[in-house]
Amino acid sequence: MVQTAEKGAYPEVMCATQDGLQQRALYGPTGRMEFAGPVGKGTLEPHAYDKPVMVRLWERSEKDTGFNWAL
């Protein structure tokens, strides 16, 4: 469960810089229970594509953090 900062940051850097990655996908560890191992395309549960769930999560996140992204 412990890794270097470089390895921990790799999925974010990869997603920001690598061409050809699938949109609306999860990239991170692909090994044991997707907690460790090489970085690749992970598993997204069906509710991750559920628009009403996405909206509720976004609204809840803004409420709980006190930060509103709307301009």
The pLDDT value given to residue 1: 61
The pLDDT value given to residue 10: 92
Q: Any idea what the Cα angle at residue 12 is, between residues 58 and 53, rounded to 5°?
A: 20
- Tell whether the model's pLDDT for residue 17 goes beyond 90: yes
The pLDDT value given to residue 55: 93
Q: Confirm whether pTM is higher than 0.85.
A: no
- Each residue's pLDDT tens digit, 18-41: 999 998 899 999 998 998 889 999
Helix (H) or strand (E) holding 28: strand 27-29
Longest dimension (CA), the chain: 41
The pLDDT value given to residue 64: 97
The pLDDT value given to residue 25: 92
Give me the phi and psi of 51, to 5 degrees please: -55, -45
